[in-house]
């Protein structure tokens, strides 16, 4: 497996006002030049606005494959989508929902992380991308990204290799978990 981190991304606080709904959100992530610290409850200095659905032990870090970006650019009719567009902490290459099973463990930088579940989109995802169709498109295209638990806190930076330390091929893939949800 030749996988690595392309970009580390942190949120800037925003308030969404969409269809009469107002909510604070951390989905507006931007590339961060430097090292980020993955901790048990989330990424240090990253805004997590709604801890009922993001952050915490099973969803401390969200990774999104860069390989999905070209499809999204075409679907959204945009020439550019900056890394972090989908609210991910880590934009990756060489690792995706089909290749990762629940419980797979990875070393990235000095952190040890474990795959836990897919990220299922909410109204904030649609609002950020400017269309509620984005929610359906993510579900239909199965381009969910992967949530990870942090087993050993550690530092990660863009360019770090992602090394799979263990896998359980009998466990469902992250994509299969989303299909079952």
181 pLDDT higher than 80: no
31-53 burial: b if 16+ Cβ within 10 Å, else e: ebeeebbbbeebbeebbbbeeee
Q: Average pLDDT in the 1-27 region?
A: 88
Percent of the chain with pLDDT over 70: 100
Q: What is the pLDDT of residue 16?
A: 86
Compute the average pLDDT of residues 31-49.
94
Span 96-118, average pLDDT:
97
Question: At CB < 8 A and 24+ separation, what contacts does 52-56 make?
Answer: 53/122, 54/26
Residue 55 reports pLDDT greater than 90: no
- What span, in angstroms and rounded, lies between the C-alpha atoms of 35 and 180? 35
The residue ranking higher by pLDDT, 160 or 56, is 160
Show me where the domains of the chain are located. 3-180
CA distance 120 to 142: 10
Rg (CA), the chain: 15
The pLDDT of residue 19 is above 90: no
CA distance linking residue 171 with residue 103, whole number of Å: 8
Among 16, 31, 45, which residue's Cα sits nearest to residue 122? 16
Helical segments of the chain, H only: 69-76, 123-129, 133-141, 174-180
Tell me how crowded residue 96 is: count the other CB atoms within 10 A of its CB. Answer: 23
Identify the bridge partners of residue 42 per DSSP, sorted by sequence position.
Answer: 39
**Looking at residue 152, what is its pLDDT?**
98
CATH superfamily of 3-180: PK beta-barrel domain-like (2.40.33.20)
Model confidence at 51: pLDDT above 90: no
Mean pLDDT computed over 97-105: 97
pLDDT in tens, 126-174: 989 999 899 999 999 999 999 999 999 999 999 999 999 999 999 999 9
Instruction: Determine the pLDDT at residue 158.
Output: 98
Residue 81 CB neighbour total at 10 angstroms: 15
The span from the CA of 118 to the CA of 141, in Å, is: 13
């Amino acid at each position: 497996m030749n996988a690595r981190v392309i970009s580390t991304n942190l949120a800037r606080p925003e308030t969404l006002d969409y269809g009469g709904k107002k909510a604070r959100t951390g989905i507006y992530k931007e590339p961060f030049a430097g090292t980020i610290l993955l901790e048990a409850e989330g990424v240090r200095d990253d805004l997590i606005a709604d801890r009922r659905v993001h952050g915490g032990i099973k969803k401390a870090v969200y990774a999104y494959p860069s390989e999905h970006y070209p499809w999204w650019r075409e679907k959204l009719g945009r020439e550019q989508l900056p890394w972090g567009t989908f609210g991910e902490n880590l934009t990756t290459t060489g690792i995706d929902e089909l290749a990762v099973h629940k419980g797979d463990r990875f070393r990235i930088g000095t952190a040890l992380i474990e795959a836990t579940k897919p990220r299922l989109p909410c109204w904030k995802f649609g609002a950020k991308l400017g269309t509620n169709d984005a929610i359906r498109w993510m579900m239909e295209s199965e381009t969910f990204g992967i949530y990870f638990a942090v087993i050993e806190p550690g530092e990660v930076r863009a360019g770090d290799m992602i090394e799979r330390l263990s896998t359980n091929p009998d466990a469902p893939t992250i994509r299969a978990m989303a299909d079952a949800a």
